[in-house]
Amino acid sequence: MGSLGGSEYPDVTLDTAIEYASKSFRVLSEGIDRIGLAQALNLKIGTGGFARALSSLKRYGLIEGHGTFKRTSLADQIIHGFTQEDKYKARAEAWLKVELIRELYQRYRTSIPEGDGEFLAFLGKLTGAGPSDVQSKAEFLRDLIGEAVKDLKVIDRPLTTSTETNTGASSFEQPVTPVTPSGFLDAKVGDVYIRIPRSPEGLQMAQKLLELLGLQVTQGE
C-alpha cells in the first residue's frame, strides 16, 4: 500500500487488482486464509508482491475479511456483471473507494490539470505531505488517476442501454460521497454544500452564512 502524508492508496492499478481477484475467484468465493490466497496468486507470503496484492484487493473493495478472506459482491459485479454497463458502474465504484481518488475526482472530475503546479499543490494540501514527498509520488499518482479517469468518465456521460427511454437513451449517476477531513464538519441542505472547521469559529462562520442567505431572501421579496 502506498502512502502520501496522511493518505493511503493502492500501489497497483485497478486492472491489476482485478487480475488478482479473477485468478483467486474460486477460492475467494469459498473463503481462504493468507497462505491459501498467496498460493492461489502464485506469490510467496511475506513478500512485497503479496503484500501489494492483498492491500490493493482490500483498498478497491474486492475482498473482505481478516484471517479469512472472501470476494465481495463488487468483485463479482466487475468480473461477471450481466451487462457492460454493470461492469462500468462497478469499476467506477471500486475507484471511488480509494479516498485520494475520490477527493481528486470531486475536485477535478475528469479534467486533471496537465501541468504539475496546481496538481502538486493540491496533493500537498490534501494529504499534508511536504513538497519533496509529493514530488516523489506524483508521477505514479498521476498515472494511477489517469487510469481511474478512464472509468470515471462513464459517470459523466449517458449510456445507451437495451431498455431505451423516450429519448432513446438512459443514464446513471454514481454519487460521490465527500470525504470529511479530520477537524471539519460537512453540511448539505438541498443543493448547498458547506465544510466548516469543527470549532466555535466554524459555527460562527455557518451562522453568518445563514444570516447572509436570509438577507438575500429578504431583499429579493
- Calpha distance 50→71 (Å, rounded): 17
Task: Tell me the per-residue pLDDT of 92-138, one tens digit each, with 9 for 90 and over.
Answer: 999 999 999 999 888 888 788 776 788 899 889 888 989 999 999 98
Q: Is 164 left (phi over 0), alpha (psi -120 to 50) or beta?
A: beta
Which residues are bridge partners to 193 per DSSP? 188
- Calpha distance 80→161 (Å, rounded): 18
The pLDDT assigned to 57 comes to 95
Q: How many CB atoms lie within 10 A of CB 141?
A: 21
Task: Tell me the per-residue pLDDT of 155-201, one tens digit each, with 9 for 90 and over.
Answer: 665 444 433 334 443 333 444 444 444 455 666 555 455 666 667 76
Among candidate residues 118, 181, 110, 183, the one with its CA nearest the CA of residue 149: 110
- Calpha distance 24→18 (Å, rounded): 10
Question: Whole-number mean pLDDT of the chain?
Answer: 80
Q: How many CB atoms lie within 10 A of CB 184?
A: 12
Residue 16: pLDDT band with limits 50, 70, 90: very high
Q: What is the pTM of this model?
A: 0.67
- Calpha distance 12→52 (Å, rounded): 7
